[in-house]
Amino acid sequence: MASKITSRREDYSRWYLDVIREAQLAENAPVRGCMVIKPYGYTLWEAVQSGLDRRFKETGHVNAYFPLFIPKSFLEKEKEHVEGFSPELAVVTIGGGEELAEPLVVRPTSETIIGYMYSQWVQSYRDLPILINQWANVVRWEMRTRPFLRTLEFLWQEGHTAHATAEEALAETLQMLDVYADFAIRDAAIPVIKGRKSEREKFAGAVDSYTIEAMMGNGWALQSGTSHFLGQNFAKAFDIKFLDQNNAMQHAWTTSWGLSTRMVGAVIMAHGDDQGLRLPPVMAPIQAVIVPIYKKEEERAAVMDFARAVEAQLKAAGVRVHFDGREELTPGFKFNDWEMRGVPVRVEIGPKDVANNAVVLARRDSSREIEAAGGPKAKQFGVPVEGAAAAVQALLGEIQASLLSQATAHREANTHRGIASYDQFKQALESEGGFLRVHWAGSSEDEDQIKADTKATIRCFPFDAPEGEGVCFYTGQRTERIAIFARAY
């Protein structure tokens, strides 16, 4: 099974596609650049949905739905917005066999149509704030696509809020960035860096854009969620006005924020190894798989009955468990199969285990190599069956923490500091890759030149920047601003 997956060192891009194929997460659709998300992959997306939706509702947001089709004139009302999205638009000009009076854009994002609706709903300060989230699909006509990371059509959520003051809107923007970071760290076990986007990288039409940036297994960055302070740009474009408490007419202040199916890609690349997926237990469709082992027919009944009893115990404890009773496959094949699919815990049960009233637990986050390097033991033998459920639950917690710890260590080992010149910057990027954490006093034009030279972009200006004042590697000017450069998906 593992031989069907290219090693990461040999070809990281091929490894990624191999894992998606072999784990049956998704496959290409008949339409170029689109994908079919298969049940195992969609269950991962459902874990993203449930984890975020709970957090949204805890912070006072409600779900609604807005149309897929947007009048093209709506996008043209906000100059930066239409310029930013124009190359990516899919436009409908014929409907019902007749040419449309006005072309309709297939939703690339919903600021415009939601802005129009908010203008109908808001008259007084008493109507604010509006805190709405939408779960939807969007279409952006991408030329170079990659499953989950960048496709013509993808799934996401987009929050859109309106407020009476700039302070409230900015607080909302940063609160939702915190929500994304909490999900990434606690559920996906991916350490992320929170920060502000540069002018070149911000959302079209925003005053400021904020991001959570994650490092993938090959050192590249992935923008994993964004939150945008839109100021009054869309409120003025769509006439979202209200009478304030002093009976004066004001424009509202708005925000938008989104996280998409690329988070599934992030989980694959942040945790996967040469054997395939390694899934964080909080998100894993199957948290534990039971593999019965026997050679003789007379051993079969006792092993299967014992294993079914363990399955019932785990289900009663709330563990998402799967019983692999496939008769035609060997235990070794099953081990490889479930390792490739990233199941966090494997429960092995053979005749000796039945005799000892115990089970064997194998953890996916470890291996012989990791164990030899001082990491956790890959297998626990002789786990008493009476405490099997508690042992599995404890192990799932350990694995969740371990994956986060491993991903954090990987990021820190591949973050490069102390870069004093552009030559040193280019050398570090070519020889080591990863995140380049540097002092930055350059302009947007300087940023463009670096991107043209190296394909690296400013991922963010991190909130956490204890470095203090230093010298910009590119301009030689003194500055306190820190930027993180990286190549990115």
Is 137 or 373 the better-scoring residue by pLDDT? 137
Q: Is the model's pLDDT at 61 over the cut of 60?
A: yes
Q: What is the pLDDT of residues 303-351, one digit of tens each?
A: 999 999 999 999 999 999 999 999 999 999 999 999 999 999 999 999 9
The whole-angstrom separation of Cα 305 and Cα 443 is 69
DSSP H stretches of helix in 23-105:
39-58, 72-75, 79-85
pTM of the model: 0.95
Determine the Cα–Cα distance for residues 148 and 165; give it in Å rounded to an integer. Answer: 36
Which residue in 24, 17, 15, 30 sits closest to 42, CA to CA?
24
User: What mean pLDDT do residues 257-278 have?
Assistant: 98
pLDDT number for residue 388: 97
**Residue 475 backbone phi and psi in degrees, to 5:** -100, -20
Domains of the chain: 2-271 (3.30.930.10), 288-402 (3.40.50.800), 415-486 (3.30.110.30)
Q: For residue 40, what pLDDT is reported?
A: 98
User: pLDDT confidence of 77, banded at 50, 70, 90?
Assistant: confident
Give pLDDT tens digits for 344-395.
Answer: 999 999 999 999 999 999 999 998 778 888 888 899 999 999 999 999 999 9
Q: Which amino acid is at 52?
A: L
Q: Which pLDDT belongs to residue 368?
A: 77
Tell me what pLDDT residue 1 has. 42
Q: 158-179 pLDDT, tens per residue? A: 999 999 999 999 999 999 999 9
Q: Would you state the pLDDT for residue 79? A: 72
CA gap 115, 175 in Å, rounded:
21
Q: Is 383 strand, coil or helix?
A: strand
Provide mean pLDDT across the span 236-257.
97
Task: Give the pLDDT of residue 3.
Answer: 56
Q: How many CA atoms lie within 13 A of 370 on its CB side?
A: 14
Query: In 3D, which of 210, 198, 266, 218 has the Cα closest to residue 451?
Result: 198
Q: In whole numbers, what is the pLDDT of the chain averaged over residues?
A: 96
Nearest-angstrom CA–CA distance, 311 and 95: 54
Segment 468-473 mean pLDDT: 97
The confidence score (pLDDT) of residue 398 equals 97
Residue 78 has pLDDT above 80, yes or no: no
Q: Kindly report, residue by residue over 402-442, the tens digit of the pLDDT.
A: 999 999 999 999 999 999 999 999 999 999 999 999 999 99
DSSP character at residue 287: S
The Cα–Cα gap between 320 and 296 comes to: 29
Residue 443 is predicted with a pLDDT of 97
User: Rounded distance, CA 474 to CA 466, Å?
Assistant: 20
SS3 479: strand
Tracing tokens 């280019």 back to the chain, one arrives at: 426
Tell me: pLDDT of 2 over 50: no
The Cα–Cα gap between 172 and 298 comes to 64
129 prior amide bond cis, ω within 30: yes
